[in-house]
Each structure stands twice: as structure tokens, then as C-alpha cells.
């Protein structure tokens, strides 16, 4: 096979893999949106697992979280460990970056993250990732609506957006991630926040890196949680 033919084959194979991912994401997103009771109660925990499990950023001991719902949009922010290239790849493909059958690490952005689409088909993501040259900030518009062709087109658009990421010299208190869901499912948003608020005090027993958590409710009330010394 000539070098040009090999490049053509590799391009076709990559495109086919991304189309397969798009088909899989479409199926899982529709399943999540079709089971509001299950997905509505779970989405905050999936986001928190992605934030907490990689651990805090260098020099810190905790991961702090802010979650709000103003009646229109759900916003989830955290200051955990910056993302890796593998994290970004998993975010786009809906496939966890966890090592196969690993009992130690938990990957970010697997099928559990796709469950958060119960809130909305589209997510605005702003995040900080770490490259070999330092930290960079990226903004992605994740759109899992429509058919697999549309989802595939969004993957290509996200690839281009990653190429436009901007370098940041130091983190300086910048949030690691901000997920914004302009939700079309207010019931799921309310279910998730209520469930999260109820269980949060117990999470400190098992989530060793979990720091301050602030919940801002639809009616303007704020609830704050923080770990206590053992």
C-alpha cells in the first residue's frame, strides 16, 4: 500500500470509529432521557465522581464544588485536578479513560457522564487541561441532539475548538471545569439537586478529597457543606 493510500485508509478508519461513537452516544443519551427517575436522581453524582476521583490539583488537598439551578440553567463547577488529553478524548467520545478492569482508578466521562444529558441535549463546557507545555483553557459546545451524522459533525467541531485552546501561565484560582446545561427538563434538575442535598453529608465519609460544596437553589436559597475534622 502506498503512503497516500495508507493515509486515506487511516482517515476513513478514524471517521468510521467516530461515527460508531456517535451512534453509541445517541443510543445512551436517548436511554438516559427516557428514564427520568433514574437519570434525574443520578446526574449530580456522576458529575461529582468525575470531579472528585482524579483528586485535587497540585498543592491542594480538597476538591470544591458549586452547583446551581436558576429555573433555566444548571451550572456545575469544580476546582479539581486539571484534565488530561485522555480526559478530553473521553469527554468527546463518551467513553471512560479508566484502565480496563482497573480497581484503583476511576475514569472521567464514561457512560455515566452521558446520563447528565437528561438535563439537556447540549452542554457548554469550559475547562482547563494540562499539556506537556503547560495549562490551556478550552471551550466546547457538546451537542448530542439529532441523528448520528449531527453528533459526528459536532465531534469534528469540538476537535477544531480544542485546536483553538488558549494557554494560561498559571491557574490562579481559576475553576477547572464549568458545565452549563440550559435544561429542557426542569423535573430532572429539581430531582437531582434534591437527591444530592439529601445525600451530601454522607458523601464525606467515603470521598476523602471532597471539600466545600455550595448548592444554589431555584428559589435563591443557598446551602453549604464542608468536611469536619475526623
CATH of the domain at 201: 3.30.565
CB contact at 8 A, 82 and 131: no
Determine the pLDDT at residue 106: 47
Q: Which has the minimum average pLDDT: 76-80, 101-105, 135-139, 172-176?
A: 101-105
Of 119, 143, 109, the closest CA to residue 26 belongs to 143
Which range marks the domain in which residue 189 is found? 3-225
Of 86, 189, 78, the closest CA to residue 125 belongs to 78
Determine the pLDDT at residue 35: 93
- Give the Cα separation of 87 and 7 in Å (integer): 26
Determine the pLDDT at residue 110: 60
Determine the pLDDT at residue 67: 98
User: Domain tally for the chain?
Assistant: 1
- Cell numbers representing residue 7 in the block: 493515509
Determine the pLDDT at residue 64: 97
- Using CB atoms within 10 Å of the CB of residue 29, give its burial: 0 to 12 exposed, 13 to 18 middle, 19+ buried: buried
Residue 82 lies in a domain: yes
pLDDT over 90 (residue 108): no
- Give the Cα separation of 160 and 141 in Å (integer): 11
Element containing residue 134 per DSSP (H, E): strand 134-143
pLDDT over 80 (residue 7): no
- pLDDT above 70 covers a percentage of the chain that reads 90
Residue 195 lies in a domain: yes
β-pairing, 134-143 with 222-225?
Answer: unpaired
Determine the pLDDT at residue 99: 36
- Can you give the pTM of this predicted structure? 0.88
Determine the pLDDT at residue 180: 98
- Give the Cα separation of 22 and 133 in Å (integer): 31
Residue 8 lies in a domain: yes
Largest CA distance in the chain: 65
Of 171, 189, 169, 220, the closest CA to residue 41 belongs to 189
Q: Name the phi and psi angles at 216, rounded to 5.
A: -110, 115
Of 40, 179, 47, 26, the closest CA to residue 108 belongs to 47
Residue 230 lies in a domain: no
Mean pLDDT of 165-193: 93
- pLDDT above 90 covers a percentage of the chain that reads 65
pLDDT band at 17 (very low <50, low <70, confident <90, very high): confident
Amino acid at each position: 500500500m502506498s503512503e497516500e493510500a495508507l493515509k486515506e485508509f487511516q482517515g476513513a478508519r478514524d471517521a468510521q470509529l467516530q461515527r460508531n461513537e456517535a451512534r453509541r452516544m445517541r443510543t445512551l443519551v436517548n436511554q438516559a432521557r427516557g428514564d427520568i427517575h433514574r437519570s434525574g436522581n443520578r446526574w449530580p453524582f456522576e458529575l461529582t465522581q468525575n470531579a472528585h476521583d482524579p483528586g485535587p490539583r497540585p498543592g491542594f488537598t480538597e476538591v470544591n464544588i458549586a452547583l446551581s439551578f436558576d429555573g433555566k440553567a444548571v451550572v456545575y463547577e469544580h476546582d479539581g485536578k486539571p484534565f488530561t488529553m485522555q480526559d478530553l478524548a473521553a469527554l468527546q467520545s463518551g467513553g471512560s479513560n479508566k484502565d480496563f478492569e482497573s480497581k484503583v482508578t476511576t475514569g472521567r466521562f464514561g457512560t455515566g457522564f452521558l446520563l447528565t444529558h437528561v438535563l439537556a441535549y447540549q452542554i457548554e463546557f469550559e475547562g482547563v487541561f494540562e499539556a506537556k507545555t503547560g495549562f490551556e483553557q478550552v471551550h466546547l459546545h457538546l451537542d448530542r441532539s439529532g441523528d448520528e451524522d449531527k453528533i459526528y459533525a459536532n465531534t469534528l467541531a469540538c476537535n477544531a475548538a480544542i485546536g483553538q485552546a488558549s494557554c494560561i501561565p498559571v491557574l490562579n484560582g481559576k475553576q477547572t471545569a464549568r458545565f452549563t446545561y440550559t435544561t429542557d427538563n426542569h423535573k430532572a434538575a429539581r430531582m437531582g439537586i434534591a437527591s444530592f442535598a439529601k445525600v451530601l453529608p454522607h458523601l464525606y465519609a467515603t470521598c476523602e478529597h471532597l471539600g466545600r460544596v455550595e448548592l444554589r437553589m431555584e428559589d435563591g436559597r443557598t446551602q453549604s457543606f464542608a468536611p469536619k475534622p475526623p
